Each structure stands twice: as structure tokens, then as C-alpha cells.
Amino acid sequence: MIKVLNDEMVSFSRYENNQIIYIDKEGKDYKVKNEITYGNWIKTYKNIPHIKVEGLEDKEFHLKILKDFQLDHKVNSVHLFYNQYGGFSFKEHSDNTNVLLYIVKGSKKVYSDNHSILVKEEQAISIPKGAKHRVDSAPDTWALSIGYE
């Protein structure tokens, strides 16, 4: 699955549709197409600490994940998060949809309501709509954020 997800990070159509985002050390995000030519993106993406790819709901691999976790809900969004060096990608925030955070590779520690939960490879955590949270990733962590109702 990592190869498939890596292909999404370098997909020309994802680039053209402004679905590839990189996140700096302060948690600010940038649409890659607005900042970097596609050729330079292909040359440099492996050096970017945090990458997000939006719009993956047009793929089917998330359907098996939902089934494995016995979730039969309407999917709003599917995003890939790749964290190469570890650490926080975003400051504490809340989402406007329920989120199933599935770890493809690596691990993430999810902080919410003064608690932390370690989510490891092939595990998931459901984060309710509106719940304030932040996520600390181990180096080389690949995760899918599946928004659902």
C-alpha cells in the first residue's frame, strides 16, 4: 500500500487539482502547485517533512479499512498524511466531521481531552466531530484520515 500512497504524492493529476499540500515546521500548509513546479516537486518531495494529499475518496482502498473497523458510514473525505521526520504537523484543532485515523505504517500519539492514545500500524482511532486534538507522529509514518458521517 505504501507504493500506492507514494504514487498519490507524485501524481500529476493530484498536483494539477491542487490536492497535494506540504506543511512547514510551524504547522502552516501550502498548496504545492502554488509554490513549486511539478518537476521540482518530483525532485524534492522526499525532503519534505510533512505531506498531505487530499481527495483520495476517489480510490477504493479506504472501503476495506472501513469494513475492517465495522464502520458503515457515508465518507466525506480521505486524506493521506505522510510524516517523514516525526513530530506534530498541526497545532491543536478540531474537524468538522468524524474522523477515522488509520495508521498504514509507523505510529501516532493522539492527544485529546488531557489523554493520549498511541495508535500503531494497522490500528485506527475514531475522533468525533468537533473534538479538539493534536497528533504527534513517529518518523516515517503514513496514515489515512477518513472523514465520515
d(CA 108, CA 116): 10
Q: Of the given ranges (15-19, 36-40, 71-75), which has the lowest mean pLDDT?
A: 71-75
State in words which class domain 2-148 has.
mainly beta
C-beta separation of 147 from 75 below 8 A: yes
E strand or H helix at 14: helix 12-16
For the chain, what are the domain ranges? 2-148
- What is the average pLDDT across 107-112? 96
pLDDT of residue 96: 93
Of the CA atoms within 13 Å of residue 54, those in its CB half-sphere come to 14
pLDDT value at 75 more than 80:
yes
In DSSP notation, 109-145 reads EEEETTEEEEEETT-EEEE-TT--BEEEEPSSEEEEE
- What is the average pLDDT across 41-48? 94
- 126 C-beta neighbours (distance < 10 Å), count: 14
pLDDT value at 71 more than 80:
no
d(CA 110, CA 100): 12
